[in-house]
Amino acid sequence: MVEAKQRVAVVTGGLAGIGLAISQALLAAGLRVVIGTRSGGGAKARSAVEQNLGADASIYPLDVRDEASVTAFFEAVTQDIGEVDILVNSAGVTAHETVSGHSLSSWQDVLETNLTGPFLTIRACLPGMKARGWGRIVNLASTAARTAVADHPAYCASKAGLLGLSRAVALEGAPCGVSCVTVSPTWVETDMLRQSAAIMANKSGRSYDAEIAALAAVNPQNRLVQPQEVAALVAFLCSDAAPALTMEDISVNAGAHW
């Protein structure tokens, strides 16, 4: 088993929202953090890493929907930094469409990003983790995986599928010291949520602030969960303290079902 300070953690979608908070939490835990994003090769993305994470984080281009991109990403990370010990799949998208009006292109984009992407990244990491006898995989799902939302069917389907994938990975990795867990937040105060609130306000005719207040009122704590709350849990799940936490779906729901 390698020492914690030597471990390499990959975070997909690690430059925004929950992913950024997770990257910061893992850096604070002494890990080498590598971020994979579609914009990873650009100057703007590199500047964002330097500003928000510092010199101890690295960034590489990664399109989780594309098998060749995933392969190239992990080959580069392994060659430049080292074998991947921790994988956090945080990259995700949604589409505001009903089932009856859903376009196939947006359906496929959501499923490919939220479900096929984690499959491809896990497939790239899991053999090495098993061979080395240690690994942590955390997939960011959602309370939407267990509840229905009429105008986010692709998102709900993708996150429900992610629960099943994670359970299969947990069973495969269990004899080899590799855990796999899903973390399912309710509404979290991120740019993605704010964009959703703006779309809902436009459709409903209510103000943006009213939509945000309505989302906060869904849970008994009457507030939006903060990204750092999710990140703290993920950092724990990636540590030596959590080997038996596997095959679980942990809700960060502030007492709400959604």
Sites in the chain below the pLDDT cut of 70: 1-5, 40-41, 257-258
Q: Model confidence over 36-86: pLDDT tens digits?
A: 998 766 777 777 777 778 777 999 999 999 999 999 999 999 999 999 999
Check: CATH 3.40.50.1000 for 4-188+226-252?
A: no
Q: What's the confidence (pLDDT) of residue 155?
A: 95
Q: What's the confidence (pLDDT) of residue 257?
A: 67
The reported pTM is 0.90
Q: Which residues share a beta bridge with 27?
A: none
The dihedral of CA 200, 201, 203, 205: what is its sign?
A: positive
Catalytic annotation, residues: 155
Q: Could you tell me the residue ranges of all domains in the chain?
A: 4-188+226-252
